Structure 1
Amino acid sequence: MQNTAQGQTTRLGALRDAVGAAAGAVLGLVPHVLHHVGIIAGAALLTGAGGNAALYVVGLVLSVPMLRRIHRRFRTWIAPAIAAGLFTAMFLVSALVVGPAISDGSPAEERDPAPSPTGQHNEHHS
């Protein structure tokens, strides 16, 4: 790269774009990761259709700055619409394919409870 003002601008632009891409990747993963923390954050809040819908909206809202930059770059609403459509498709695959594939699919009340150390302790007292 050149050491001229133009070269510096190009390097700064590339660095800015790289940081923006990294931030976009992290923000894109946030809804998917949060989708799987139902045990920690409360099953009623983040699981089921309502939780998926809420996390989809959060992800879409967080992508608005990126969608605006895409609009400014291409000077059309088609490019941001394609990006939003890709986000929607990836979120649906995550919520409807990946999520069920990595869970056993049975409701929580049908699963075998984890062994309790107090239950074993109480058994030898009776």
Structure 2
Amino acid sequence: MRLVKSTWRTISAVVGTLMGLLPHVLHHAGIIFGAALVTGAAGNLLFGALGLLFSIPLLRRLYARFDTWKAPAVALAVLVAMFSLSAFVIGPAISGDTGRETPPPADTPDHSEHSGH
């Protein structure tokens, strides 16, 4: 039984590591393939859903350990808060994407020709 638990923990750690590296690896998979999967709203939805899916075993263990829905609810709230912080604050800040287009700088007229000099 100990070997099974150890093996499961190792597999879980490897899957968690791969899921953490997946956005970076897909970024290098190609402009269209990587960008289509990991950018914008589609990427946020994809990785949010994967995060929720892969947190189900943890949420079940928390429920079994504390015998209440409160512990998994707190863990899920922390997951949502951290994912939201990453997706909507940190990501745009490091990518320079502010979510709004800035207008091009206005052309300033050249008044040197008619200024009398």
How high is the TM-score relative to the length of structure 2? 0.60
Q: 1:30 aligns with which of 19, 32, 35?
A: 19
Equivalent residue number for residue 110 of structure 2: none
Equivalent residue number for residue 114 of structure 2: none
Aligned residues: percent identity? 43
Q: 1:66 aligns with which of 48, 58, 66?
A: 58
- In structure 2, runs of 5+ residues without a counterpart are 100-117
Q: Is the 8 A contact 1:32 1:94 kept in 2?
A: no
Provide runs of 4+ in structure 1 moved above 3 Å: 35-39
Residue 45 (1) aligns with residue 34 (2): no
Q: 2:92 aligns with which of 100, 110, 117?
A: 100
Cα drift, residue 97 of structure 1: 1.4
| The structure with more radius of gyration | 2
Distance 2:93 2:63 in 1: 36
Higher relative contact order (CA 8 A, sep 6+): 1
- In structure 1, runs of 5+ residues without a counterpart are 1-12, 108-126
How high is the TM-score relative to the length of structure 1? 0.56
Q: Is the 8 A contact 2:92 2:98 kept in 1?
A: no
Distance 1:100 1:38 in 2: 16
For these two proteins, the number of residue pairs brought into alignment is 93
Which residue identity is paired with 1:55? F
Distance 1:33 1:62 in 2: 14
CA-based RMSD of the aligned residues comes to 3.5
Distance 1:93 1:35 in 2: 18
Cα drift, residue 28 of structure 1: 7.8
